[in-house]
Amino acid sequence: MIGSNTTETHPVIGYRIKMAKNKGASLIVADPRRIDLVDYADVFLQLRPGTNEALLNGIIHVIIKEGLADKKFIREKTEGYIQMSLAIQKYTPEYVERITGVSAAKIRHAARLYAGAESAAILYTMGLTQHIKGTNSVLAVANLAMVSGNIGKPHSGVNPLRGQNNVQGACDMGALPNVLTGYQRVEDRGVLSKFRRAWGTKLNSKPGLTVTEIIDGILRDEIKTLYVMGENPALSDANLHHVLEALEKIDFLVVQDIFLTETAFYADVVLPAAAFAEKQGTFTNTERRVQMVRQAVTPPGKAKPDWFILQELAAKLNLNWSFDTPEKIFREIASVTPDYAGITYERLEKEGGLQWPCPTEKHPGTSYLHKGKFSRGKGLFTPVEYRPSAEEPDEQYPLILTTGRTLFHYHTGTMTRRSDSIDVHKPEEMVQISIDDAARLGINEGDMVGVTSRRGHVTARATVTEQVPAGVVFMTFHFHEAAANLLTINEVDPVAKIPEFKVCAVKVEKIEA
Amino acid sequence: MISLTINGQKVEVEPGTTILQAAEKLGVFIPSFCYDPDLTLVGACRMCVVEVERARNLIASCCTPAGEGMVVHTDTERVHEARRANLNLLLANHPLDCLTCEKTGNCRLQDYCYLYGISETDFSGERKDYGFDDSNPFFIRDMNKCILCGLCVRTCHEINGVGAVGFMNRGFDTKVSAAFDDPLEDSPCVFCGMCVDVCPVGALVPKQSVGKGRPWELATVKTVCPYCGTGCGLELSVKDNEIVGVKGDTSSPVNRGQTCVKGRFGLGFLQSPERLTSPLIRKNGELVESSWEEALNLVAQKLRRTRSTELAGLASARATNEENYLFQKLLRTLGTNNIDHCARL
C-alpha cells in the first residue's frame, strides 16, 4: 500500500486488506501518516511527504542487489531494464534513508517481503500521484512490479484505487482532452475518421486543455465559455484564489448539478440535474467493472437526468441526436469503443457487471490486464530520478501540509454535508497536528488554529494526534468553511497535469479565544 | 466426496462441508440465528440442531462436518421440540412489542416463533432492563431485544476489523457492548452499518427507517453506490417515492453485502431541501428561476456564438458513462477537445 488511506477512502477494500492479512498475507504500508492500516502492517515505511519515488527506487535497488529480481520475466516480457537498473544504482537503502527518513533496514525488509511473495499486489491512491512528480512515481511502481514479475497474473499488479464512483468511466468515455472513448487518441487519423463517420460531424485533431490549463486559459482571456456538469472546482482545485478569480472573470458559465455548489454561485445559468438514484445508466468501478445504475425515485421538481438535458440541448443546437433512453446511448458507446464492444444492458442485467476489455458479446470480460504479454507488447522500464517537491518547508513556513479525505465525508462535501446524520457526526474540519509541534506551538486538542501558506489562510480546530509525524499537518478538503485548497499550490506534474495537493509549506498558529 | 442421507435423500458433498450446507444443497431448510457463511462458526444459538442416527445428542448442523454414511433427520419431533424449547427460552427475555417493532416482518425470531407455533413464553422470571443507546445519529441499539447470536460481534471483528463491540459479563448479564459499556459514539466504531444488516432481530435499527414502512410495503431497487470508486452494490428500499432504507447488496461480486458509513447512511442528500429543482438564470446579478425552454435557449445561443477555441467543458466523475459520453460528444461536435473532469483531484 502506498499513498492510500484505504480504510477511510475505500473502506470496503480496506476490509478486504484486513481480511487478507488475517488469512496470512503480508502487508507493507508506505505513508507519511500513521494511518489505521499501519496497525495491521508487517512493515511501516513512514516516509517524508513527497519522497515516494525515492523509496520505490530504494526497494528496487535491494531487489536487484540481492538477486531477488524475476530474471525470466524481465528477459521475456520487458524492455529498458538495463537503463533502469543503471539509474537505480545510486539509490542504496542508506541514500534513500537520507531522503525519505525511512531506515535502510526497513527498506531491505520491505523489498524482501514484496519480492519473496508468490504473488504481490501494489495498491496506490492519490498519495502517490498528487505531486509534481506523480507520473514518475507511477512509473517507479510499474518498475517495481515488473522487476519482481508481479504483473499479468492473478492477485498481483499495479492497482490504482480510483477515487470517485465513476472516475474510471468518465475517463473511459473520453471526458479527457487528448482521447476519445476507450483511450483512442484524438491525434490518430484512423480514430478521428472513424468518429467523424459515426457521428456525422467534423472533429478537431488537436488535444484540448486540462482542468488546470482551462482555469489558466480563462485568466488569459483565451476561454470565454465554460460548461460544468457535476463538478465543483471552486472547492476541489488547488490554490482556490486562482480558480475563484477565473470563475469570477469568465464570460459565460453553465453549471449543471444537483445542488447550488460553490461553483454554481458564479454561474450565469444553473441546470438542475437528477442524482444517481433518480436515473438509469452505468458506472465503471476501479476494477474496470461496468455495472447497472437503476432508478429508485423520481428527481425533485423540474430536475432532469444529465443525459436528458444534453439531448435537449443538442436538439436546440440542431444536432441530429435521438437518444431517448440511456440504453440507446450505451449501444452507441459500444459501437465506437472496442473495450466496451461486447457489453450490453441485457448482459449487465443478467451477468451483474462486466470488466472491460470485453471486445465481443461472447467475451466473459477481463479480471486482470497484461495476461501473457503487456498491452503495449513489452513492458517498458523507465528510469526515474528523485526530485524535491515544488515548495519545501522553510523558516517562514516550517510545516508540510498534506491533504486528503476522511471516512465520514466525501470530496467537496456536496453530498455528505447535506446528509444529516453524517454532518451531525462530523460537522467540521479538524487539522491534524503532531504531538511535538502542538507542544511547541502551545496548541491543545480542539483549539482554533490559523493555517497559512503563501497563497491563503484558513482557520479550523486542531486535533493533536500520533497519526502525523512532527513537521507535517493534515487537512481534508471537505469543508468550505476551512477550504484547504486556499492553501495548496497549483504547481502541476508536467505530464499528467495533476496538482501537488500532497505537499506545500504552511505555518500554524494558535488563535487565542 | 462424502455421501450422506438427509431426510431420506442422498447427497454428495466435498469433505469439510457442514451438515447445514449439505442440506442447503438439497434445498432442505434449517433455521438458525448465529450462522453466517462469511463468519467463524460458533454454534451458539442451537436453532440448527438436527438428529443424526446413532449420535447420542442433537447436533448443531452449522458447525458439524458431514460424515461418510451419516443419516440425518432435520424435521423430527425431537428436533422440533428442541427448537421450540429454545424459542421459549429466548422469549422469556424478549420484549413482545412486535406491533411497533421496526423489525416486524423481517425478524427471524418472529418467523421461527410463527413456524413452531410459539406465541408466548412458559417461563417467567427476571427480565433485562437496559436503556437505549441512542448516542449516534445512524442507528439505535436496544439490547433488551438482543438474543446474543454474536453476528454483530463477529462482523465487526472479522469483516470490518475495528472490533468496536464484544460480549461483556457472563450468564444472564451477558451483553454486547463497546469497551467499558460506553456509547458507540465514544468507541472506535466507524458506523459501517454491517452489524445492523446482520442483526436477526430488532436490537439494531437504522434511524433512517424508523416509522417509514413495513417490509412488505417497500420496493427494493439494486443499484451502485455514488461515493468512491469501489462500486459497491446497494439495495435501496423505496416507499412513496422516498428512499427509506439502504443495505449492502449481498449478490454484488464487488462488496458481497459489505458497506461503509457513506453508502449505508450517507444518502440523505437525495431528499435535502437544498436540492436544485428549477433552472436558474442570472438576471441583474441574481440567479432567478426560469423555464427549461428559456434556460436551454440561452445556453444553446451562447454555445453557438462561442468560438470553438474559447469553449471548454468539465464532465463529471459522478455522472454515468452515458452522460459523460454525451457531454464529450457535444463539446467535440462543437469543435473543441477542451474537455476534462476531476480525475486528477
Which of 160-179 (B) contact A at CB < 8 A? 160-161
Q: Is B222 on the interface with A (CB under 8 A)?
A: yes
- Using alpha carbons, select from A99, A5, A111, A6 the residue that is nearest to residue A47: A99
Decide: B223 and A285 in contact? Cβ < 8 Å. Answer: no
CATH number (domain holding residue A220): 3.40.50.740
By CA distance, what is B235's nearest residue in A? A296
Summarize pLDDT for A15-48 with one digit per residue, the tens.
999 999 999 999 999 999 999 999 999 999 999 9
Total domains present in chain A: 3
Q: Sheet containing B286-289: give its strands across.
A: B286-289, B280-283, A269-272, A252-257, A225-229, B311-314, B339-340
**Domain-embedded: residue A387:** no
pLDDT of B217 strictly over 90: yes
Residue A229 and residue A330 in one domain: yes
Average pLDDT over residues B286-292: 97
A414: pLDDT strictly greater than 90: no
Residue A58 forms part of a structural domain: yes
What is the pTM assigned to this prediction? 0.94
* Same-domain status, A244 and A325: yes
Structure confidence at residue A497 as a pLDDT band (50, 70, 90): confident
Give per-residue pLDDT as tens, B249-259: 999 999 999 99
Domain match, A351 and A403 both: no
Mark yes or no for CB contact A176/B341 under 8 Å.
Answer: yes
Give the residue from B186, B246, B278, B314 with the most A CB atoms within 10 Å of its CB, the best one to mutate. B314
Q: How would residue B317 be classed by pLDDT, with cut points 50, 70 and 90?
A: very high
Phi, psi of A363 (to 5 degrees): -70, 135
Q: Report chain A residues whose CB lies below 8 A from the CB of B266.
A: 410, 415-416, 419, 421-422
Given CB atoms, is B40 within the 8 Å cutoff of chain A?
no
Interface of B with A in 227-256 (CB under 8 A): 227-233, 236, 238, 241-243, 251-255
- Taking an 8 Å cut-off on Cβ atoms, the answer to whether A165 and B138 are in contact is no
**B291, B326, B334, best to mutate vs chain A, most A CBs in 10 Å:** B326
Given this model, what pLDDT does residue A156 score?
A: 94
**Mean model confidence pLDDT for chain A:** 94
* pLDDT for position B57: 94
A155 shares a domain with A44: yes
Q: Which domain holds residue A330?
A: 167-355
| A83 and A66, same domain (yes or no) | yes
DSSP-assigned states of every residue in A208-240? ---HHHHHHHHHTT---EEEEES--HHHHSSSH
Q: Is residue A280 part of a domain?
A: yes
Interface of B with A in 280-319 (CB under 8 A): 280-282, 287, 292, 295-300, 302-304, 306-319
C-alpha distances out from residue B72 to B42, B47, B91, Å: 20, 15, 28
State which of A124, A144, A161 marks the end of a domain. Answer: A161
> pLDDT-based confidence at A421, cuts 50/70/90?
confident
Task: Provide mean pLDDT across the span B120-130.
Answer: 88
For A380, B305, B310, the CA distances from A222, given in Å and listed in that order, are 38, 15, 6
CA-based nearest residue in chain B for residue A253: B299
Do the Cβ atoms of A164 and B229 come within 8 Å?
Answer: yes
Which residues of chain A have a CB within 8 Å of the CB of B254? 12, 285, 287, 289, 291, 353
The answer to whether A355 and A347 have CB atoms below 8 angstroms apart is no
10 Å CB burial of residue A151 (0-12, 13-18, 19+) is: buried
Cα of first residue to Cα of last residue in chain B, in angstroms, is: 54
Query: How far does A59 lie from chain B, in Å, by closest CA?
Result: 27
For residue B135, what pLDDT is reported? Answer: 87
Domain boundary among A112, A129, A161: A161
Interface test with B, best of A172, A214, A225 (most B CBs within 10 A): A225
A369 within a domain of the structure (yes/no) = no
Q: Do A175 and B327 touch (CB under 8 A)?
A: yes
* Same domain assignment for residues A275 and A305: yes
Query: Same domain, yes or no, for A142 and A77?
Result: yes
d(CA A201, CA B302): 20
CB pairs < 8 Å spanning A and B:
451
Q: Are residues A172 and A49 in the same domain?
A: no
> Is residue A394 a part of any domain in this protein?
no
Buried/exposed code over A479-491 (b: 16+ C-beta within 10 A; e: otherwise) = bbebbbbbbbbbb
Range from A273-287, A319-333, B121-135 carrying the lowest mean pLDDT: B121-135
The pLDDT mean for chain B works out to 95
> What mean pLDDT is predicted for residues A496-502?
90
Least Cα distance to A404 among A474, A452, A461, A497 occurs for A474
Residue A166 neighbours by CB under 8 Å, 6+ apart:
A283, A284, B229, B316, B317, B318, B319, B320, B321, B324
Nearest CA in chain A to B304: A317
Which of A128, A161, A194 terminates a domain? The answer is A161
Distance from CA of B177 to the nearest CA of A (A): 20
325-344 of B, contacting A, C-beta below 8 A: 325-344
Q: Which residues is A432 bridged to in the sheet? A: A463, A474
Residue A1 lies inside a defined structural domain of this protein: no
Residue A474's CATH number: 2.40.40.20
Helix A306-316 / helix B321-333 crossing angle, nearest 10 deg: 20
**Which CATH number goes with the domain that contains A107?**
3.40.228.10
Average pLDDT over residues A256-274: 96
Residue A236 has pLDDT above 90, yes or no: no
Query: Are residues A320 and A452 located together in one domain of the fold?
Result: no
Give the pLDDT of residue A512.
Answer: 80
Round to whole Å and give the CA distance between B216 and B145.
22
* Residue in A482, A455, A494, A404 with CA at minimum distance from that of residue A243: A455
Judged by CB atoms closer than 8 Å, whether chains meet at B281 and A268 is answered as: yes
Same-domain check for residues A342 and A476: no
B190 touches chain A (CB under 8 A): yes
Residue A388 lies in a domain: no
pLDDT at residue B252, rounded to an integer? 95
Q: Are residues A155 and A176 in the same domain?
A: no
Instruction: Name the grid cell of A489.
Output: 499550490
* Domains observed in chain B: 2-75 (3.10.20.740), 220-275 (2.20.25.90), 278-305 (no CATH), 310-345 (no CATH)
Contact A269 B258 (CB under 8 A): no
| Overall average pLDDT of the A204-215 stretch | 94
Judgement on whether residues A48 and A146 belong to the same structural domain of the protein: yes
Q: In angstroms, rounded to a whole number, what is the distance separating the alpha carbons of residues A205 and A191?
A: 10
Identify the band that residue A235 occupies on the pLDDT scale cut at 50, 70 and 90: confident
Residues A425-450 have a mean pLDDT of 94
A79 band by pLDDT with thresholds 50, 70 and 90: very high
| B343 has a pLDDT exceeding 80 | no
